[in-house]
Amino acid sequence: MNVTLDGNPLFDEQGLEIEVGSHHRACVERAVCGLDGVLSIDLGERTREIRQRGMLRAPSRAAMQARTDSISAFIDGSTHTLRTADGQECRNVRVDSFKRIDEGASGSGIVVEYEIVYTQLGV
């Protein structure tokens, strides 16, 4: 199964890593005069960070620019669905950044190492 973003197979599978962080819980704690302890109100789960690292391959610089532009188009503030190779589906995911780490020639084309940071807004 391919890694997809909103059903679009934008990523090469070779060397792809997706690190899904844990959810954070929020709470409010209040102390009351005359009572021992604190009142703790659980506000529920909050966001979690997802990091994706991998390599993109393309036959030319123009083709690579088209691939990176298609990924960058998802940095729009909207929520998306990320599906991993093992079938895990992460809904309500916002693409926060797409960073090109390294670029070079490889055999018959161009290779770009990249990192994408997502924020999952809710489960």
Q: What is the pLDDT of residue 107?
A: 84
Tens of pLDDT, residue by residue over 41-99, are 998 888 999 999 999 999 999 999 999 999 999 999 999 999 998 889 999 999 999 99
CA angle 80, 119, 93 (to 5 degrees): 15
Q: What is the pLDDT of residue 123?
A: 65
CA distances (Å), 64 to each of 6, 27, 120, in order?
A: 20, 45, 27
Q: The domain 4-120 is classified under which CATH number: 3.40.980.10, 3.40.50.720, 2.40.30.200, 1.10.1200.10?
A: 2.40.30.200
How many angstroms separate the CA atoms of 60 and 63, rounded?
A: 5
